[in-house]
Structure 1
Amino acid sequence: MSEINEHGTVIPIVQEFATVSTREVETDRVSVRTVVEEKPTDVVARLAREELLVERRKVEREVAVAPAPYEDGDTLIVSVVEERLIVEKRLFVIEELVVRRVAHVDDVHIPTTLKTMHAVVEQDSAQP
């Protein structure tokens, strides 16, 4: 709207400003869940193990003192000793006992009583 005054026509100058605002509006809903998936798999692992091998060696050697265990490289040597009495005795076999097992089967008669049960089914004559 314009005004007229002594200087002429006055036209107001108007300026418009735009403002933008936001608001939350629920448009949809979702639910979230977790799922655990299991997959069988093979795990490769390197396992180290050691094994002891024992070898028995026959040794007939006379010693004055029992030898202590010792190592030869990666091998452990343990001596097993026994004391022996050296006396001049000798054994003689003077008799042998021969023992044999002999099996016998004999028939025996044992008097006894045996019982047998039988079922008897009868129809009741009073019934039509």
Structure 2
Amino acid sequence: MTDEPKPDVLPLVEERVALTKRTIPTGRVRVETRTETVQQHLPAQLSSEEVEVVRVPVNRRVDAMPPTTTEGDLTIIPVVEERLVVTRELYLREEVHVRRIRRQETVEIPVETRRQTVRIDRLSPEGQIQPSSKDHHDDL
């Protein structure tokens, strides 16, 4: 026999944990959307233009046909006639003044638009509607 001391042996022990998961239905959600038509009035800018005609008597002798002239929104159209005298002379009989008048107005035009609403119901695993703390009727 040997006189050598025998070392103490300590066994090592280890525990192992195995984790598994499973799915358990606790409820379902049903989402329903609806499209509805909404009448709206949208503003629109409309422009119109009127023409005002004024006949201005002149009755003045001229040597040649005057040109049509425009001054801003006013257009002047000369109207002449020949008169027999000992010689022919042009007389500016009248002028026709045409003025443009612009107007704008805002009108409401009815249009149809569509929008969707959504209803969300929480259901139990058996399909029964569960009461909710707040009703979900949200506009999209």
Interval containing the TM-score (normalised by the shorter chain) = 0.3 to 0.5
Normalising by structure 1, report the TM-score.
Answer: 0.44
- Name the larger-Rg structure: 1
User: Which structure has the highest strand share of the two?
Assistant: 2
Normalising by structure 2, report the TM-score.
Answer: 0.41
